[in-house]
Structure 1
Amino acid sequence: MAGKRSIFEEVGEVSKPAGAPKGGMIDQGRGGARGAVRIWLGVLFALVVVMIAVGGLTRLTDSGLSITEWRPVTGALPPMSEADWQAEFEKYRGSPEFQLQNSQMDLAAFKTIYWWEWGHRQLGRIVGLVWAAGFVFFWATKRIPPGWAGRLLTLGLLGGLQGAIGWWMVSSGLTGRMVDVASYRLAIHLGLAFVILGLIAWHMLSLSRTEPQLLQARRAREPKLYSLATGLMHFAFLQILFGALVAGIDAGRAFPTWPLMGDSFFPADAFYLPEGGPAVLAFFENPGLVQFVHRMSGYLLLAFALVVWLRARKSAHPATKAAFDWAVVILFGQAVIGIVTVLHAAPLGLGLAHQLMAVLVWMLILRARHRAQFPIVRSIRGSR
């Protein structure tokens, strides 16, 4: 027989036996180690940013062709003796870059450019090891969130592809046709780095909330704004590729004037090629035309960003509006740095700053796009 009920007991209150399961335990058991995976991705993100910076310095210091072989494993060890250094120098002396451009270089100067390229490749190995160690650990301990194994595995596969493309790029400068790497191969190499970085950032943003929270947020998504942000993302990526073409042939130093290119709007001899060839090659190999395309694309990108920003001002979500505010502000700053870089004939410091600012612009556009897809919904009182 049941005991007497207290006169203060709420009607309808049901007592639960001790040890009864609490609500939400099913979700808790299926969430995986989202926080730990996010930290691991954060480490990878930082390493990829550093690698992009070192890669930019490697290109700006003309160091990319100093190592003439691709040895993914044994190449991890640098020359250990003077004889080893001399052997590496002799290999470089046989390259077109040395014979046509650096014939006066001595061993001490060679060591400087060698260390830049070796450091860039070594960072690639470190990124691969950090990814492999993290993926194996989370997979073996069954801590990968449901549905995330394929996404995390894809990052590793793209990293391996990036290494192969890196050598494909370097090999283009060892064939004899040019003294630098092919600019279009450099664009593919840098473009894939930004793809990898973008995927890592997107995954980190998604892992910052639980799956139920993401599903709930998606019900409040803004399809039109998301589509515009996707277009802005693609346009920014195209501009990054144009920037790689500029860096590949030092086109940033061709016309150190602004807003005109020399004395005219369109560069003189835009389709001239010293060695001849089809006119389409001028879009990759003529410094004036390459810089002109990068300039015009930058203006159009900024104009389109302002259109997207005006649409974002109509959003009902303050966090979404703030994300687009920052994206446009930094994009405008990037345009200013680009102009200053051109006016100073692309010195090393400004060139690197321009490239790193591109990373920031890319991240902020992706963040704004994520906010449009998964807005942070706040109540009237301001709580999430």
Structure 2
Amino acid sequence: MLPSLWARCSALRPQKQLFLRSVHKPSVQARPLLQSQRLSAFAAGKFARNGQSSILSTIRSQCRSLSGAVTSTRLSFDPRFFSSNASGVLSAETLAANEASDSANADALPKLTPPSVAIWLLASSALVFAVIVVGGVTRLTESGLSITEWRPIAGILPPLTQSHWEEEFEKYKATPEFKMINHSISLSEFKSIFYMEWGHRVLGRLIGLGFVVPLVYFASRRMLPRSLARNLSLYALLIGFQGALGWYMVKSGLEDSLLETPGAVPRVSQYRLAAHLGTAFVLYAGMFSTGISILTDWRWAKKGVWSGLKDTGSGAVWKSVLENPAVRRFARYSKVLTGLVFLTALSGAFVAGLDAGLLYNEFPLMGGRLAPPSDELFSPLYAKKPDGSDIWWRNIFENPTTVQFDHRCLAITTYFSTAALYAATLRPTLRAALPPLARRMALSAFAMANLQVLLGISTLIYLVPISLAAMHQAGSVMLLTTMMHLLVSLRRPGAAAKIWRQTQMNARKARSS
């Protein structure tokens, strides 16, 4: 036993020598003392007949002292504990305190949403953008009433056999649209409008699946803060509500009462159409702005970049911008303009629902004058109460002439408001105060407003062709996109991003001191 313990103790010596060669030379001074202590203990053991236990205990104590010396030397001279700007060596107590502090700070930091969540939200918003455009084409081609049932699961597959197609065609023949307008279409023509509506519905299901499944994944991996997870769960419920609202809209165009109403046209209710489109706009705006906000917070927390401005080290680059009175007025005006863009797009849903774009196909006049006659704008024919008290709001929402006039007024107001917003950024004082991203988004909004006006006028003059009308509806989404991006560019960083950024700055100051 004695030789084996002596060998194990002696094996520490070459390890210690190799280590001491890689660190500072003065630490080798401990070696003669350790060697002399070990040899003395061994010599004393030679003259003790029954002193094996004493020798063993002495060797064990010397081994422990030697191991402690090596550990102490490593803690004192390990290059990992040297700062690049340090002039001396940190003590083991200081290093342990720093490590404990760093660990506590990391655990105390709030959850910062990763960019992968933002990419998923932006992809979802792109799908919503696509379904808005496809929905517009579906309405323009009068395909929305071709599917007479709402089957969320079974409706995923189209008819696969000839008998199934004939069955669907028979169901369509019972609708007011077939009896009043499409009574002469063939089965092949029916298939074309069926596939358009089917594609619109399948895309809506794809949006729901593409949103809910990643949401469950991110939530289960705890990659979402609690408030964000709650908001995204509301978006998921809104997607389901949007599907039910779409069927509620289609159902309004399948009612048999249209056959008995004089002058009725088999089309969906403009109120339900506006609600369906407005919900899609809310979904798109929420997904897009949330995704952009997550990316903005990540850049600020990790790189110190906010709206195109680089943090110089003070950590208050966004504060100096947003506390400027001119910037605060600009931000308030931008919010009002964003609401006006949304309202203008919503009024377009009433124009589409009533086919109001087929009236007064000229611009800027309407029948040779700036506005139609007042008795046409507020016709008593649209009032349903005997006292005519509902004449105002019914004409605003149900009279095609009034609906088109209102949409024109809102569009013109939106255009000049966007031009005024961009003109404000050209003033030297505001231009110097605004961040670069906000200036670019104001320019983009004005450019998109010009394109949207050209598309709207062209759609009106050429009697609402499908291609121009679809691009006009897509243009409304793009104009809303630029305004949402402008609002995000003037948004304060989130609480988690500010804490992460401040922690990084504090760590940087500690390393440099």
**Which bracket does the TM-score occupy, shorter chain normalised?**
0.7 to 0.9
Deviations 1:319-361 (A, max 9, x none): 2112111111211221121111111111001001101111110
Report the CA distance shift for 1:210/1:273 in structure 2 as closer, same or farther (over 3 A). Answer: same
Aligned mates of 1:95, 1:273 — CA distance in 2: 31
**Structure 1: unaligned runs, 5 residues or longer:** 376-384
Deviations 1:350-384 (A, max 9, x none): 00110111111000001111112249xxxxxxxxx
Aligned mates of 1:10, 1:97 — CA distance in 2: 83
The residue that corresponds to 1:51 in the other structure is: 131
Query: Letter of the aligned partner of 2:377 in structure 1?
Result: A
Alignment of 1:40-119 (within 5 A): 40-119=120-199
Report the CA distance shift for 1:143/1:287 in structure 2 as closer, same or farther (over 3 A). Answer: same
Alignment of 1:87-166 (within 5 A): 87-166=167-246
Aligned mates of 1:339, 1:285 — CA distance in 2: 22
1:273, 1:286 within 8 Å by CA — same for their partners in 2?
no
By how many angstroms is 1:218 displaced? 5.5
Task: Give every structure 1 segment of 4 or more consecutive aligned residues whose post-TM-superposition deviation is greater than 6 Å.
Answer: 1-4, 273-276
The residue that corresponds to 1:308 in the other structure is: 421
Aligned mates of 2:239, 2:409 — CA distance in 1: 32
Aligned mates of 1:103, 1:217 — CA distance in 2: 67
TM-score, normalization by structure 1? 0.88
Partner residue of 1:349 out of 467, 472, 484: 467
The residue that corresponds to 1:380 in the other structure is: none
The residue that corresponds to 1:270 in the other structure is: 377
By how many angstroms is 1:162 displaced? 0.7
By how many angstroms is 1:261 displaced? 1.2
Query: Letter of the aligned partner of 2:484 in structure 1?
Result: L
Q: Is residue 478 of structure 2 the alignment partner of residue 360 of structure 1?
A: yes
The residue that corresponds to 1:259 in the other structure is: 364
By how many angstroms is 1:11 displaced? 5.3
Report the CA distance shift for 1:366/1:9 in structure 2 as closer, same or farther (over 3 A). Answer: closer
Report the CA distance shift for 1:10/1:233 in structure 2 as closer, same or farther (over 3 A). Answer: same
SS at match of 2:377: coil
Partner residue of 1:168 out of 248, 255, 266: 248
Q: Is residue 301 of structure 2 the alignment partner of residue 194 of structure 1?
A: no
Aligned residues: 373
The residue that corresponds to 2:328 in the other structure is: 223
Deviations 1:34-90 (A, max 9, x none): 211112112211211111111010011011111111111111121121121111111
The one of the two structures with greater contact order (alpha-carbon pairs below 8 A, sep at least 6) is 1
2:382, 2:399 within 8 Å by CA — same for their partners in 1?
no
By how many angstroms is 1:158 displaced? 1.0
By how many angstroms is 1:251 displaced? 1.4
Aligned mates of 1:324, 1:309 — CA distance in 2: 5
The residue that corresponds to 1:382 in the other structure is: none
RMSD (Å) for aligned C-alpha atoms: 2.9
Partner residue of 2:404 out of 274, 291, 311: 291
Alignment of 1:323-342 (within 5 A): 323-342=441-460
By how many angstroms is 1:12 displaced? 7.7
Q: Is residue 351 of structure 2 the alignment partner of residue 246 of structure 1?
A: yes
Aligned mates of 1:144, 1:369 — CA distance in 2: 23
**Structure 2: unaligned runs, 5 residues or longer:** 1-71, 259-264, 307-314, 385-389, 494-513
Aligned mates of 1:217, 1:124 — CA distance in 2: 42
Query: Letter of the aligned partner of 1:286 in structure 2?
Result: N
2:382, 2:398 within 8 Å by CA — same for their partners in 1?
no
Aligned mates of 1:297, 1:288 — CA distance in 2: 14
By how many angstroms is 1:107 displaced? 1.3
2:113, 2:294 within 8 Å by CA — same for their partners in 1?
no
Query: Letter of the aligned partner of 1:204 in structure 2?
Result: G
Aligned mates of 1:81, 1:119 — CA distance in 2: 18
Larger helix proportion of the pair: 2
Larger radius of gyration: 2
Report the CA distance shift for 1:89/1:218 in structure 2 as closer, same or farther (over 3 A). Answer: farther
Aligned mates of 1:372, 1:62 — CA distance in 2: 42
Aligned mates of 2:372, 2:142 — CA distance in 1: 26
Q: Which deviates the most, 257-266 or 29-38?
A: 29-38
Query: Letter of the aligned partner of 1:199 in structure 2?
Result: G
Aligned mates of 2:380, 2:204 — CA distance in 1: 35
